C-alpha cells in the first residue's frame, strides 16, 4: 500500500498526484494543502489552529516524543505501507527538516520505499539494494547516512564501484551528473540519501 504524508512546510503542489488507491495522511497543517483528499489527519493542531472538519482525524497531545509527521509515518508503517512519499516536509524549520530526513532513513531501514518530494528535488532513502534514477543531465548526489556505506554507481559522470564512502568525506557523492539514460545506484551496505535535482 502506498502512503502519502503531507506536512505543513514547502509543498510542491504541481508534483502532488496521488493514485486513487493511495492513502493520504495530513500531518497537522498539511490539511490546508490536501483538504478533503486526505484520508486521515494527524496532529495536535498547534499549526492548523483548529480541529479539521470533514476529515477523519486523530488528535495528539501537545507534549509528546514524536512530531506530528513522525506519528503519521508510524501510522503508515503500522498499517502495512510498502512505500511512503512525503510532501510538505522540507524547508521551513531546520530542526523539523532534519528530523524528517531521519524519518526517511528509518523508513528505508524498515524495508519500505521512502522518498521526500521537494519543490526543486526529490530525496530518496535507500538501504541495501539497487535502484534506477532517470533524467539525463540531472544532478544526482549520494549522502551516506551510516558510519560505513559501500556504494556502486553507474551511468554517471563519476562512477563508483563498491566504493566505501568514508565518514570523514560526506561530500564525496555530491554533484554527480546522470550521463546516460539512467543512473543505477547499488547500496551494498549501509543507508544513503539520494538527491535527484529537477
The predicted model scores a pTM of 0.94
- Indicate the residue among 119, 152, 187 that finishes a domain: 119
Summarize pLDDT for 147-169 with one digit per residue, the tens. Answer: 889 999 999 999 999 999 876 77
Q: What is the CATH number of the domain that holds 134?
A: 2.60.120.320
How many folded domains does the chain comprise? 2
Q: Is the distance from CB of 41 to CB of 58 less than 8 angstroms?
A: yes
Statement to judge: residues 71 and 100 lie in one domain? yes
Buried b (16+ CB within 10 A) or exposed e, 167-186: eeeeebbeebebeeeebebb
Long-range contacts of 50-54 (CB under 8 A, 24+ apart): 52/26
Distances (CA, A) of 150 to 17, 86, 170: 34, 26, 12
| pLDDT given at position 167 | 66
Statement to judge: residues 96 and 174 lie in one domain? no
- For residue 74, pLDDT over 90 is answered with yes
| pLDDT given at position 88 | 96
57 or 79, which is more confident: 79
Residue 111, helix vs strand vs coil: coil
Print the domain residue range for 15.
2-119
Number of Cβ within 10 Å of residue 189's Cβ equals 13
- Asked if residue 124 belongs to a domain, the reply is no
Summarize pLDDT for 29-38 with one digit per residue, the tens. Answer: 899 999 889 9
CA angle 171, 143, 150 (to 5 degrees): 100
Report the alpha-carbon distance of residue 27 to residue 43 in Å, rounded.
6
Which secondary structure element, helix H or strand E, spans residue 77, and what is its range? helix 68-78
- The three-state DSSP-derived secondary structure of 23-71 is EEEEEHHHHHHHHHHCCEEEECCCCCCCCCCCCCEEECCCCCCCCHHHH
- Indicate the residue among 119, 141, 159 that finishes a domain: 119
Statement to judge: residues 142 and 175 lie in one domain? yes
Statement to judge: residues 87 and 16 lie in one domain? yes
Statement to judge: residues 101 and 158 lie in one domain? no
Amino acid at each position: 500500500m502506498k502512503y502519502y504524508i503531507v506536512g505543513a512546510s514547502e509543498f510542491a503542489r504541481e508534483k502532488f498526484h496521488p493514485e486513487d488507491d493511495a492513502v493520504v495522511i495530513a500531518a497537522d497543517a498539511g490539511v490546508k494543502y490536501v483538504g478533503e483528499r486526505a484520508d486521515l489527519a494527524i496532529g495536535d493542531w498547534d499549526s492548523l489552529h483548529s480541529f479539521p472538519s470533514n476529515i477523519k482525524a486523530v488528535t495528539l497531545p501537545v507534549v509528546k516524543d514524536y512530531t506530528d509527521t513522525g506519528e503519521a509515518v508510524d501510522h503508515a508503517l503500522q498499517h502495512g505501507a510498502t512505500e511512503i512519499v512525503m510532501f510538505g516536509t522540507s524547508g521551513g524549520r531546520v530542526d523539523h527538516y532534519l528530523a524528517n530526513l531521519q524519518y526517511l532513513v528509518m523508513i528505508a531501514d524498515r524495508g519500505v520505499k521512502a522518498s521526500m518530494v521537494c519543490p526543486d528535488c526529490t530525496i530518496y532513502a535507500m538501504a541495501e539494494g539497487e535502484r534506477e534514477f532517470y533524467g539525463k543531465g540531472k544532478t544526482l548526489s549520494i549522502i551516506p547516512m551510516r558510519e560505513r556505506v559501500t556504494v556502486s554507481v553507474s551511468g554517471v559522470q563519476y562512477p563508483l564501484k563498491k566504493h566505501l564512502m568514508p565518514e570523514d568525506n560526506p561530500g564525496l557523492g555530491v554533484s554527480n551528473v546522470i550521463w546516460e539514460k539512467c543512473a543505477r545506484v547499488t547500496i551494498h551496505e549501509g543507508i544513503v540519501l539520494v538527491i535527484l535535482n529537477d
